[in-house]
Amino acid sequence: MKYEDYVDLKYEPSKTDVVCEYLIYPLTKRAAGAVAAESSIGTWTETFTTKPYVEKLAATVFWMKGNKIKIAYPLELFEEGNLPNFLSSVAGNIFGMKEIKSLKLVDMRLPKKLINSFRGPKFGIEGIRKRMKVKKRPFLGTIIKPKIGLKTKEHVKVAYEAWVGGCDLVKDDENLASQKFNEFEKRLIKTLEAKDKAEEETGERKGYIINVTADLVRMIERAQMVEDYGGKYIMVDVITVGWSALQTLRDQDFNLIIHAHRAGYAAFSRNPFHGISMKVIAKLCRLVGVDQLHVGAGIGKMFEKKEEVEENCKVLKEKFGNLKKVLPIASGGLHPLLVPELIEFFGKDFVIQAGGGIHGHPSGTLVGARAMRLAIEASLKGIKIEEYAKKHEELKECLKIWKK
């Protein structure tokens, strides 16, 4: 079959087809067909080993508009429950072909049988709320700052103050592992002790999200250690550990909520013309089974627009086979004055995760956490932050250093 033979604009995908949407430059019939061929049964020249029964497994370009194409893939092309195999086809060699100058996988529709061959989240939104006993408001989280370099004693102090001030969740940043200045096991033990103390003092459930990211063997050992010491959460840098490692970690079925950090995602998604969209990455994370995922905020310091963040949230919460919903995390340059806009945009099922917006408060971490919690309280009551600040000094200080 020639590349052009993989294009059939009269083809109607079946319910069992995988449908992928790509942005492609240039869009020609040959270029579109090349993507379909190379991601299914074809190659650069006709071969005499291609049998008639094999041709039935060919992918088909069935829609072309502007610079977008949609390709239907027979389900039989993929091994169920094998994400690396799936991506090797629909997001593999096709990115490097001479026939195209740029290619971006922007969306995909998966049949139920393929979706349900993956485990999906163990807890999901409802499970996290039940475990953390946070029922009707957004979760408040923070990141230890500076993101790396603190010794264990100071790390624990920051975490404790954040919890006592009103945070539900405190997490490591993406590049903290088990460096000599803050080794994993010691940090885990001491921080969980501080968490227990904060729970006793506040009467609220608290969560420490420790970063277990490492090679697969160490990652599983660290997750087991967290469970053994009574932790509720682990964090994984899902892009840098890779889909195979993430899937293997999830398959251990630890009684731990998996927090997915997306460090490195922009290498795939930031270029508007090439790579893989964050929306697709979000679907992949939900398939594998993370419980909560960074999605951007639409405001703050990250590059994504609100429309993109909205799409990311949608794929985490919409019907997706039998898989549970994933809790979105808003992060990146957030502070108390932005809370009303965040809640209006996200609703209540999300995590407001602020680092500098808590630790950068003039009166320190504890007061910074209080200010964020007060901002949530004011927003849910429908009271403007400026008005609430008149009776709450923690918020009044924020008005002096941050702007909407």
- Catalytic positions, written as ranges: 145, 261
DSSP bridge pairs for 72: 19, 60
d(CA 300, CA 340): 13
Helix and strand totals (H; E) in the chain: 18, 13
> In the block, which residue shows the tokens 């009271």?
383
Tokens of 43: 């190659």
Q: Is the peptide bond before 84 cis (omega within 30 degrees of 0)?
A: no
* Pairing mode of beta strands 60-65, 68-73: antiparallel
Token pair 């799936």: residue? 86
d(CA 40, CA 88) in angstroms, rounded, equals: 10
Residue 7 DSSP code: B
Q: Count Cβ atoms within 10 A of the Cβ of residue 127 and give its class: 0-12 exposed, 13-18 middle, 19 or more buried.
A: middle
| Closest of 124, 119, 123, 126 to residue 287, by C-alpha | 119
Sign of the four-CA dihedral 238, 328, 282, 354: negative
What is the helix, strand, coil percentage profile of the chain, to 5? 45, 15, 40
Tokens of 126: 């409802």
Rounded Cα gap, residues 192 and 283, in angstroms: 32
Question: CA 276 to CA 111: how far, in whole Å?
Answer: 20
Residue 2 tokens, joined: 């020639």
Count the Cβ atoms, other than its own, within 10 Å of residue 135.
8
E strand spans, 246-382: 257-261, 275-276, 292-294, 327-331, 351-354
